[in-house]
A and B are shown apart, each in its own frame.
Chain A
Amino acid sequence: MGEKKKKIVKTIKVDADKCNGCRACEVICSAFHATPRYSSNNPARSRIRLIREPLRDIYLPVYAGEYTPAECAGRDKYVIEGKEYEECAFCRASCPSRDVFKEPDSGLPLKCDMCESDPDLEKPLCVQWCLVDALTYEEREEEVEEETELEELEIGLEALADKFGLDKMMDTVARMSLSKKE
């Protein structure tokens, strides 16, 4: 068993009832992630997406989560207070079944990184630009079991090992390193 360790959990609370549909969050998110920073904006590249259907009173800001190579076996559809949300509305995945959370030209997946930057921002930008408080930022400390943090490479390798088996993977690596030497 690992030791207890403190960890900061970053949360954005979405109060969809307060959302007025302005899409300022999309504007600033895409501007922040432009290179150079703020040099352009394009809501289609935003890592937050507003599902907005005013005539049915649907206002739902959704954050981009993980990339998934395969779509779900089934789809979900929610009805809340009589309002039926579009298929997979609440899902955060960048998924082959739909075109959200993907770069418009390359199709590369988009994921919210909580506006990672150096130095850290005081609050994520979508939160700062949402003046009506539909998005609020919270940090809290949590005690977690210490785990040896896996490096990004390790995570990737593990996924490959799961998929193809460790032996096959090792063979391939050996073959690759040989061909590189030639």
Chain B
Amino acid sequence: MRYAETGFNLEIDLTRGNVERVETDPRDTELYLGGLGTNAKILWDRVPPEVEPFSPDNLLIFSAGLLCGTPATGCNRTIVSTVSPQTHLMAFSMMGGFWAPELKYAGYDKVILRGKSPNLVYLWIHNDKVEIRDATHLKGKGAVETAELIRQELNEPRAQVAAIGLAGENRVYFASIEQGRSSASRLGLGAVMGDKGVKAIVVRGTKDVNVARPAEFLALCNEVLQYIKFRNENPIPGVMPILAGLGSPQEMKVHDEKWHTENFMWGNSRVRRKDFWNDEIARQWAETLDSMRTRLISCYNCPMTCGATISPPGLPTYMMKCFSKLTYTMAAFSDLEFGLGIAQSATEYGVDGFSAPQVMAFALELYENGILTDEDFPGMPADNEGRFYWLLDRIVRREGIGDVLADGTYWASKRIGKGAEAYAHNNIKKHEQLPLKLSMLNPIYFLMYATGEKLNITQIEGQFPQAPWRTREEREEFAKDWFQVPDEKFKQYLVDWEPRGEKSMPFYPTVEMCCDIVDWQERMHYIDDALGMCAGLSSFPLKPPYHLHNYPKFISAGAGIDMDTDTLTQAARRYRTLVRAYNIRRGMRRKDDKPPENHWKKRFPELEKELLDTYYKFKGWNDQGIPTRESLSELGLDYVVEDFEKRGIYSETEDDSSSETPAEDEKI
């Protein structure tokens, strides 16, 4: 018997309309855990670098994490993986909500889509019964609307639906997959789903999910619940409210947005409004949120209530969480009422809440600077809010300038030319980033931005405080019951870290310490993405209930795979390296590992070079960021070595690649 996982994947060939239930190899679970780990292995094996994102040979994999569907609190993530149309690299966004556990209860770990359906279809997975059903009547329907219509037509109120909106159908490069209160948004997963002709995947399951050692597993769950209670009652002192507690950033609860509105950038990630927040705005925004927010809501099996149902006046209700609360507002220089209103359309259309507003602000900046003209915007209203609604409609329909913008700022700027490239300034590896511009280089963040392959800072940061407390006493106080650290030395790193002086940024934490810290942070996210755990209870917050010391026990008692911290770390390194190898095979090199040039005003080219050099070595990568033969072999990834050799990846000359190191690229 298989524990925690079901041991079966659904293979769906959309071209031929064929459905197969395939048993998986338990060895793969030991090596790659599940979720992202096994997704990466499947993509490596089956989607070679020649395959274009919109080729029928590209796969779109929906995977429940290894522990989804067990009683482990907050373990509900679906990891969706494919080749991104925007970056041509591996995309592996995930979504919370209710879908992954339901898939487990239906008896599957993954749904693997290949080929392309000639007509728009949806998949109906109900335990052993799997149907590909016509969805032409749902064409053009909103993602939330689609979910409701399907539940009604199937008469299955408890079915979970992951659906795309118009943006996905029209292959917008930042189209999302929406699922109730959650979405897998980054890197154009929705576009690939649309390209495959799949409007929705609907799941209902009523089978058991087993665990290997029940009493032990439940005791671990209870410990986690107790610790969540403790952390809810004991927020971390001396940090911003959204960093003090657990869960995804609690944007649906927080009224005070002084920090975000004054520290994040407005417009096309350009303008910082240092004295924006005042009593009047605070009052208005609180009123807006209170009047539109119906209820705080959670994902499956989690008490944290990070999301909310939002009912803007005169518009249908939708669900929201996190920072999309402010991205539209700030991109459009508007207010919260506008932001919550347009997010309703954006959710129905199914677009990413980071990229979409930035793309629109980018377009308006080009317009202001004469690079785009009135001819490009026929009939566009004069007010900012109206323009955003107008642009959003054009983009999701790929009409006129919308067709260009639908490819995201990087590709749009190439198509527009006339110097537009300089306005697509906030990307990493062609992907839009959080609107954040800061003064002095932060070495930890430098490494995370440069090397994080999920291409979103929130998906690699966490665990380690973002800045040192002012006094040593405060730092010691924090370190006292900080049992989550992988090693005692991390406590010392923190305690010695000063806001000013010799032991302050950018030279402290030292390069070696930065490597340790970043590696820990990243490792936690990778483990979460394999187990299906919400980052909000694990990799993202300070002092989370899940950590490197109880995870191995959860896996042992849950899945029946004996693990300790070392073997878990080794497994995480294995599939993390495989993700890297996959992207290397698709052409990614050191030149791509860099934050936006203007992310910090004050840069330190030599230090940055040293950071990257040292971190690459630490990770077992050569100076081009390519995993070395030795490190691959140590992880049991000899098949990667073979492939690299066959493709001549190791024999590339040094000079054609080293000319663009971040140090030499420094312009500001």
Contacts and interface: CB of A to CB of B under 8 A. Distances in A.
A136 to B, nearest CB: 14
B206 A38 contact: no
Contacts of A42: 105, 206-209
Interface in B262-306: 294-303, 305
A88 to B, nearest CB: 13
B218 A43 contact: no
Contacts of A132: 303, 305
Contacts of A129: 225
A38 B211 contact: yes
Contact of B211 (A24, A39, A53, A59): A39
A21 interface: yes
B209 A54 contact: no
Contact of B305 (A20, A53, A55): A20
Nearest to B215: A38
Interface in B225-254: 225, 228-229, 232
Given A22-B301, A54-B180, A57-B295, A41 B207 contact: no
A36 interface: yes
Contacts of A27: 71, 301
B93 interface: no
Nearest to A31: B71
A129 B222 CA distance: 9
Given A38-B214, A131-B229, A22 B299 contact: yes
Nearest to A53: B157
B146 to A, nearest CB: 13
A34 interface: yes
A53 to B, nearest CB: 7
Contacts of A28: 71
B127 to A, nearest CB: 9
A: interface residue count bin:
20 to 34
B218 A38 contact: yes
Contacts of A47: none
Nearest to A51: B157
Contacts of B228: 131
A20 B298 contact: yes
Contacts of B26: none
Contacts of B296: 20
Interface string B210-223: 11001101100000
A31 B222 CA distance: 13
B181 A54 contact: yes
A23 interface: yes
B337 interface: no
A104 interface: yes
Contact of B319 (A38, A40, A54): A54
Contacts of B302: 22, 24
Contacts of A23: 98, 300-301
A37 interface: yes
A86 B305 CA distance: 25
A22 B309 contact: no
Given A53-B157, A129-B225, A36 B214 contact: yes
Interface string B540-566: 000000000000000000000000000
B76 to A, nearest CB: 9
Contacts of B319: 54
B170 interface: no
Among A38, A57, A129, A132, the most chain B Cβ lie within 10 Å of the Cβ of A38
Among B144, B180, B209, the most chain A Cβ lie within 10 Å of the Cβ of B209
B317 interface: yes
B316 interface: yes
A104 B298 CA distance: 26
A20 to B, nearest CB: 4
A40 B309 contact: no
B296 to A, nearest CB: 6
Given A131-B225, A131-B228, A43 B316 contact: no
Contacts, number: 94
A104 B158 CA distance: 14
B338 to A, nearest CB: 22
A44 interface: yes
A20 B295 contact: yes
Given A34-B208, A41-B70, A41-B208, A21 B297 contact: yes
A141 B272 CA distance: 63
Contacts of A44: 105, 205-207
Contacts of B257: none
Nearest to A130: B303
B291 to A, nearest CB: 14
A98 B73 CA distance: 30
Given A22-B301, A55-B316, A43 B71 contact: no
A104 B206 contact: yes
Interface in B294-346: 294-303, 305, 309, 316-319
Nearest to B151: A53
B223 to A, nearest CB: 13
A27 B105 CA distance: 11
Contacts of B303: 20, 22, 24, 130-132
A39 B535 CA distance: 26
Contact of A22 (B157, B214, B225, B298): B298
B131 interface: no
Nearest to A134: B303
Nearest to A104: B206
Nearest to B216: A38
B148 interface: yes
B301 A24 contact: yes
A22 B229 contact: no
A122 B567 CA distance: 38
Among A27, A53, A57, A128, the most chain B Cβ lie within 10 Å of the Cβ of A27
Interface string A48-77: 000001111101000000000000000000
A59 B181 CA distance: 15
Among A104, A128, A131, the most chain B Cβ lie within 10 Å of the Cβ of A131
Given A27-B71, A54-B297, A131-B229, A40 B209 contact: yes
Contacts of A22: 298-303
A21 B303 CA distance: 9
Interface of B: 69-71, 73, 98, 105, 144, 148, 157, 180-181, 205-211, 214-215, 217-218, 225, 228-229, 232, 294-303, 305, 309, 316-319
28 contacts: A20-B297, A20-B305, A22-B298, A22-B302, A22-B303, A24-B73, A24-B301, A31-B71, A34-B214, A37-B214, A38-B71, A39-B211, A40-B209, A40-B211, A41-B70, A41-B209, A42-B209, A43-B105, A45-B208, A53-B157, A54-B317, A54-B319, A55-B144, A55-B317, A56-B317, A57-B294, A57-B317, A104-B206
Given A27-B71, A42-B207, 17 more contacts: A20-B295, A20-B305, A21-B298, A23-B300, A24-B303, A28-B71, A31-B218, A38-B217, A42-B105, A42-B208, A43-B105, A54-B297, A57-B295, A59-B295, A104-B206, A129-B225, A131-B225
**A-B pairs, 6 with minimum CB distance:** A44-B206, A131-B303, A38-B214, A40-B208, A104-B206, A22-B298
